[in-house]
Amino acid sequence: MQAPTANRPGPVPGSDHPASFASQQPPDYPADALAAGQSGTVVLLVTVGADGSPIRVVVEKSSHVRSLDRAAVEAAKTWRFRPAVRRGQYADAVVRVPVTFNLDTQPEASGIDEVVLSRNGVRPSADAPRRLAFARGESVHVLMTHHLPAGSRVDLVWRWLGDGQVASPLVLHRQSVVVGASNLRSVDVSFKPPQGWRPGHYGLLLRLDDKPVGVLGFDVR
């Protein structure tokens, strides 16, 4: 997903040659924050040792969502860095890393090019709002272009996130699409609850071969 993204670390005063990422696994989007429609940015201070490992991770600026802060910190503990160099020697250094959790992120997984929501399977115009609003009786279409190998499985999890007054995480439906000859470059799937949509906020979680790769949000009025 992407869900979340960790930006390139920036130097903190005192690092002549700051550390940089060697490997970085983005954090998973916490289920409770996803269900509640919560997003935000966590700014971390990571002390990187002379061997490139994170010695200490602290939150410099909170997202004000505890689970997002915790997910960012736990992910940072697994990162590996190219250590800072000071006076020709590897040295401990501190880097500042913003980690963003965004409910409306495009997948960054290799092989998925773009995913958009639409009504009636018609691609939204360029000037359409980024977050679409649907009527209770409409079907929501998911248009995905990709270059995935045959046999790849994309799972779609439709969640009702609440009505703005009460957050009530509820999984409405799960769909799976297996890439084959008939959908080798594009996928168009749709969903509408049997009784129609309930007004409120929704999130569509995409998983590629069991790995979260993106979240798209929409509203029903």
pLDDT in tens, 154-210: 999 998 887 766 556 688 899 999 988 777 888 899 999 988 898 988 888 888 887
- Whether domain 5-101 has CATH 3.40.50.300: the reply is no
Q: How far apart are CA 202 and CA 86, in angstroms?
A: 49
pLDDT for position 1: 39
Between 186 and 34, name the one with better pLDDT: 186
Domain chopping of the chain, boundaries: 5-101, 112-220
Q: How far apart are CA 144 and CA 207, in angstroms?
A: 13
The residues, any chain, with a CB within 8 Å of residue 80's CB and separated by 6 or more, are: 21, 22, 23, 24, 52, 53
The residues, any chain, with a CB within 8 Å of residue 72's CB and separated by 6 or more, are: 4, 6, 27, 42, 44, 59, 63, 99, 101
Between 13 and 40, name the one with better pLDDT: 40
Angstrom CA distances, 212 to 72, 100, 169, 198, stand at 16, 15, 18, 25
pTM: 0.57
Distance of CA 206 to the CA centre of its chain: 9
Give mean pLDDT, residues 57-73.
94
Give residue 101's identity as a one-letter amino acid code.
F
For the chain, give the mean pLDDT.
83
Q: How far apart are CA 175 and CA 177, in angstroms?
A: 7
Of 3-7, 52-56, 182-186, minimum mean pLDDT range: 3-7
Whether residue 13 has pLDDT greater than 90:
no
Q: 39: how many CB neighbours lie within 10 A of its CB?
A: 21
pLDDT for position 26: 78
- Whether domain 112-220 has CATH 2.60.40.1930: the reply is yes
The residues, any chain, with a CB within 8 Å of residue 90's CB and separated by 6 or more, are: 50, 51, 83, 84
pLDDT tens, residue by residue, 103-153: 666 555 457 888 889 987 888 887 777 788 999 999 999 998 888 888 889
In DSSP terms, which residues pair with 186 in a beta bridge?
A: 145
The pairing of strands 93-101 and 40-48 is antiparallel
| Measured torsion, CA atoms of residues 22, 102, 134, 158, in degrees rounded to the nearest 10 | 70
CA angle 64/68/70 to nearest 5° reads: 105
